[in-house]
Copies of this chain bind each other. A is one copy, B any other.
């Protein structure tokens, strides 16, 4: 059977319906639903939709249409003509149409639209008649058509590239109009008279011929097909193309084209146009909310020349509180609209974003779609609708995106202000939320200024562990270099702190204490504002708002997540504070405690000094002495965290980074160290130099340190067991899991197990205990570890996937160096995104699967988790669920997000199974 190309709607009937979004696009499907569904039967201006399949055909066949399309369109036009009692191109009673795009997923503003199609010199009199003699309205409509059509159809769709911004046809026509207004001394477009508009239309046509070497097509049918072609062409326009790259929309989807009878909100004081939401999209309250303009067209609402009025009391704000509401001004129509929106929400089971037009006292619905909402609103609506029994638990969970949930956890820039502020520079959104503060350029300054009660943002080329104290003191961190897993990004995200990294256009000058962003210079003390969710830098102090008011809602929502999810959610926490914060969010243990992090931050001076002493030790004796001095600090640190997590498992990772990372850079500290070790600065420099590595990421680190310096492992393991033993004797229930990092062979694990078992017995004896509950396991972060996981599982009781390093080694991507090529890789579509952000499921994911399969083959009850930054990234969490991990672990502020993603994964799995 021949495929149907065109789907009509209108007059209480429709060929399509809501479920046909893939074929008719979101707009077309919803128009069909509104027009044709027996529970709705809304007043929709009749029209028809040309399917997305025609778009695909169009691109596969050198921009031509299949046989039969012409005929189907003609038939569909005729249907509309019959319903409207008007005729396309008819001088006395003409039908006018809009031609709009509509893809499967909304791509707002990315494609083209042509309005008033069918208006020609010939049909003008007919429209004058329809409008009740409003000649000015008609010529204004004609003027708009010419401007839009010449731009969209005659220029852009033909692939004509204007030399510069000014030379496009639209700009040139605007210049003519501006010149006329200036000549006449008009301030607004509405000052133009009918005669002015008539003259303008003629001037426009002349200019078009001059510039584009073509006549403006003053024939209804030609205009229609021009409009249709322009919409299809705009699917591959620059804007749409790059938007699809960003949003991961396949090129093959294509757009539909909807041709619909024009209705006019600008036919006089009994006409109007508006936009409304069935609930408040800003906070989720269950009240009808919207704006409208009398005697206006949709584009006027968007253009912002006139202030729209509130549709009802509830929708009033500072700006519009004195304007007449729709409820007051057109009470009957408001009632009708109110009833419709109720019906719509009930029908769609979700908040709807609707567009309506009132033409001469008659209400038309032009569009309805699921309404966008911010995070707090999303959570509130989900919970409310669940209580209202409009939706199920599963639906409520699917209603909130992880990104929306994230919004609840951080202060944000007041969206009303942010929307109008110029973005000074863009970087990577490394730490969520917004922050404002005075720019400082060193960690020491950040600490000093903060002590004086100032709010600061630390600006650095990039950060290193010595900056940590300054990062903590700052409201936010901004760096010119580094990626999503750079030091700054990792630390900031761990703290839930706002952070923008890799802001490549910044030029930091530490000497002058300033940074240039394009031609703007930010000096020390200047106020700047960051949006860490978007990666934006603004100049000045923008107002903040707290989104976490909805904390009760959040708690309720997380309980909902817990009731559905299978994956455990632990946290990466290096301090008791982190641990407590994560517990508040419902963390079920610690998946990664990095022993080395005790050497950063507040109070770390002494242990860091001792660690450094150990590192630059030359003999085993020197090293053992330093370790002995260091040991009590390590024990204390571990004990506090085990205590904070009492009863929950705490995965403690032994020393991981290459030692060179800890060698101080400042002269003062170097001198101090040399003095303590009783060696010369030169000797110290030589020892430090010996630690230097060409590729430190693949050098002497992790278990390799434990193999070459067993005494280092022994000290740490003893600290773990003694901390646990002391807690047991204090009546607590500590549960450490000792984790060996950077393992690639079972013999490495064996060497550490021997130490562990020896120390375990010694500690039991020392504290007179029979047992300390613990596990011994390994990180899987080296590709070879996944390959030999069957062997590793003979010794390891748990695996924790370190996906950062696995991604580094698996791809051969140094995360510190990908800045030179990853942007190109993403731009050119070679990679879908940064694999350090979301697990590369095809490659690294396969390595993980191999590791899990082989590991569980040896040890059925092997505990498997993930502790890389991926553990808090929703798509990666879903992956972890599907490969049957036991838990994910992420920074405290990502715990709620991981819980949501884990719950959604269960729901998706169920859906897949029932398919």
Which residues from B are CB-within-8-Å of A614?
Answer: none
Stretch at the interface among A103-111, A166-174, A843-851, A870-878: A843-851
Q: Which residue of B lies closest to A784 (CB)?
A: B843
Mask: chain A, 792-817; 1 = CB below 8 Å from B; 0 = not: 00000000000001001111111011
- A124-166 CB mask vs B (1 if < 8 Å, else 0) is 0000000000000000000000000000000000000000000
Question: How many angstroms from the CA of A843 to the CA of B784 in the assembled complex?
Answer: 5
- Are A825 and B707 in contact, CB atoms less than 8 angstroms apart? yes
For residue A226, give the distance in angstroms from its CB to the closest CB of chain B.
35
> A789: shortest Cβ distance to chain B, in Å?
10
A787 at the interface (CB under 8 A from B): yes
Q: Are B700 and A842 in contact (CB under 8 A)?
A: no
- Are B816 and A694 in contact, CB atoms less than 8 angstroms apart? yes
- Chain B residues with CB below 8 A from A202, complex form: none
Closest to A658 in B: B817
Contact present for B783 and A745 (CB under 8 Å): no
Report B-chain residues with C-beta under 8 Å of the C-beta of A818. 699
Is A727 on the interface with B (CB-CB < 8 A)?
no
- Nearest to A845 among chain B residues (CB) is B787
Given contacts A693-B816, A809-B810, 11 further A-B contacts (CB under 8 A): A694-B696, A694-B814, A695-B697, A698-B808, A699-B817, A699-B818, A707-B821, A707-B825, A744-B812, A783-B809, A783-B812
Contact across chains for A824 and B708 when beta carbons are under 8 A apart: yes
Q: Name the one of B693, B704, B814, B824 contacting A693, with C-beta atoms under 8 angstroms.
A: B814
User: Does A831 count as interface, using CB distance less than 8 angstroms?
Assistant: yes
Contacts of A814 in B (CB 8 A): 693-699
11 contacts between A and B (CB under 8 A): A693-B814, A695-B695, A698-B813, A699-B818, A700-B817, A700-B820, A745-B843, A783-B783, A787-B843, A788-B842, A788-B843
A782 in contact (CB, < 8 A): yes
- Most chain B CB inside 10 Å of its own CB: which residue of A788, A817, A831: A817
Interfacial residues of chain A within 758-788, with CB under 8 A of chain B in the complex:
781-784, 787-788
Select from chain B the residue with minimum beta-carbon distance to A745. B830
Digitize A823-853: 1 where CB-to-B-CB distance is under 8 Å, 0 elsewhere.
0110011110000000010111011000000
Does A646 have its Cβ within 8 Å of any Cβ on chain B?
A: no
Give Cα A820 to B748, complex, Å. Answer: 16
> CA separation between A376 and B743, bound complex, in Å?
44
In the complex, which residues of chain B have a beta carbon less than 8 angstroms from the beta carbon of A392?
Answer: none
Report the bound CA distance from A843 to B818 in whole Å.
27
Contact residues in B for A783 (Cβ distance below 8 Å): 783, 809-810, 812, 847
Query: A39 in the interface, Cβ–Cβ < 8 Å?
Result: no
Please give, as numbers and ranges, the residues of chain B lying within 8 Å of A75 by CB-CB distance: none
A313 close to B (CB within 8 Å)? no
Task: State in angstroms the CA–CA spacing of A844 and B787 once bound together.
Answer: 8
Residues of the B chain whose Cβ atoms lie less than 8 Å from the Cβ of A813:
698
Distance from A697 Cβ to chain B, minimum over Cβ atoms (Å): 5
Kindly report which residue of chain B lies nearest to residue A742, judged by CB atoms: B812
A828:B707 contact, CB within 8 angstroms:
yes
Q: Verify if A747 is at the interface (C-beta below 8 Å from B).
A: yes
Q: Are A696 and B699 closer than 8 Å at their CB atoms?
A: no
Q: Which residues of B contact A707 (CB under 8 A)?
A: 821, 824-825, 828, 830
Cα(A813)–Cα(B812), bound, Å: 12
Task: Tell which of B693, B742, B791 touches A817, judged by Cβ atoms closer than 8 Å.
Answer: B693
Chain B residue, CB-CB nearest to A805: B812
Residues of B within 8 A of A729 (CB): none
- A820 — nearest CB in chain B belongs to which residue? B700
- Residue A751 CB within 8 A of the other chain: yes
- Give complex CA distance A819, B176 in Å: 76
Known A-B contacts A697-B698, A820-B708; the reply to A830 vs B751 at CB < 8 A is yes
Per the 8 Å Cβ criterion, residues 844-864 of A in contact with B are: 844, 846-847
| Chain B residue at smallest Cβ distance from A693 | B817
Spell out A's residues near B (CB within 8 Å): 693-700, 704, 707-708, 742, 744-745, 747-748, 751, 781-784, 787-788, 791, 805, 808-814, 816-818, 820-821, 824-825, 828-831, 840, 842-844, 846-847
A844 pairs with B704, CB closer than 8 A: no
CA distance A814 to B781 in the complex (A): 15
CB distance A817 to B747 under 8 Å?
Answer: no
CB-contact partner of A694 in B697, B704, B745, B782, under 8 A: B697
Provide the bound-state CA to CA distance between A842 and B700, in Å.
22
> In whole angstroms, how far apart are the Cα atoms of A693 and B847 in the complex?
27
Bound: A820/B700 CA distance, A: 7
CB of A770, distance to nearest CB on chain B (Å): 29
Q: How far is the CB of A508 from chain B (nearest CB, A)?
A: 14
CA distance A717 to B816 in the complex (A): 30
The 4 closest A-B pairs by CB, nearest first: A695-B814, A698-B814, A699-B817, A784-B843
Minimum Cβ distance to chain B for residue A686 (Å): 12
Bound Cα distance A138, B791 (Å): 60
- Kindly provide the distance from the CB of A710 to the nearest chain B CB, expressed in whole angstroms: 9
> In whole Å, how far is A732's beta carbon from the nearest beta carbon of chain B?
36
Residues from chain B with Cβ under 8 Å of A846 in the complex: 787-788
CA of A748 to CA of B830, assembled, Å: 6
Q: Which residue of B lies closest to A823 (CB)?
A: B708
Which residue of B695, B811, B829 is within 8 Å of A782 (Cβ)? B811
Chain B contacts for A745, CB-based, 8 A: 830-831, 843
**B694 contacts A820, CB within 8 Å?**
no
Q: State A805–B810 Cα separation when bound (angstroms).
A: 11
Given contacts A817-B693, A831-B745, A844-B784, A698 and B812 within 8 Å (CB-CB): yes
Question: In the complex, A744 Cα to B822 Cα: how many Å?
Answer: 13
Could you tell me if A821 and B708 are in contact, using CB atoms closer than 8 angstroms?
yes
A820, B788: Cβ atoms closer than 8 Å = no
A781 CA to B809 CA in the complex, in Å?
11
Given A695-B816, A847-B783, do A704 and B810 touch, yes or no (CB 8 Å)?
no
Bound: A781/B697 CA distance, A: 18
Q: How far is the CB of A93 from chain B (nearest CB, A)?
A: 56
Q: What separation, in Å, do the CA atoms of A700 and B784 have in the docked complex?
A: 23
**A847 cross-chain contacts in B, Cβ below 8 A:** 783-784, 787
Measured in the bound complex, the distance between the Cα atoms of B697 and A748 in whole Å is 24
For the complex, what is the distance from the CA of A318 to the CA of B742, rounded to whole Å? 60
Q: In the assembly, what is the distance between CA of A741 and CA of B851, in Å?
A: 27
Query: What distance in Å separates the Cβ of A867 from its nearest Cβ neighbour in chain B?
Result: 17
CB distance from A470 to the nearest CB of B (A): 22
Residues of B within 8 A of A828 (CB): 707, 751
Closest to A705 in B: B821
Looking at A781, A811, A840, A842, the one whose CB has the most chain B CB atoms below 10 A away is A811
| Chain B residues near A787 (CB-CB < 8 A) | 810, 842-843, 846-847
User: Chain B's nearest CB lies how many Å from the CB of A21?
Assistant: 29
Q: Determine the distance from Cα of A840 to Cα of B782 in the docked complex, in whole angstroms.
A: 14
Q: Which of A708, A812, A817 has the most CB of B within 10 A?
A: A812
In the complex, chain B residues whose CB is within 8 Å of the CB of A830: 707, 745, 747-748, 751
Chain B residues positioned under 8 Å from A742 (CB to CB): 812
Q: Which residues of B contact A811 (CB under 8 A)?
A: 698, 744, 782, 784
Q: How far is the CA of A812 from the CA of B828 in the complex (A)?
A: 29
Q: How far is the CB of A816 from chain B (nearest CB, A)?
A: 4
Contact between B744 and A843, CB atoms less than 8 A apart: yes
Smallest beta-carbon distance A663→chain B, Å? 14
Question: Please, how many angstroms separate the alpha-carbon atoms of A694 and B844 in the complex?
Answer: 22
**Within 8 Å CB of A748, what residues of B?**
830
Closest CB-CB distance, A887 to chain B, in whole Å? Answer: 24
- The reply to whether B694 and A817 contact each other, CB–CB distance below 8 Å, is yes
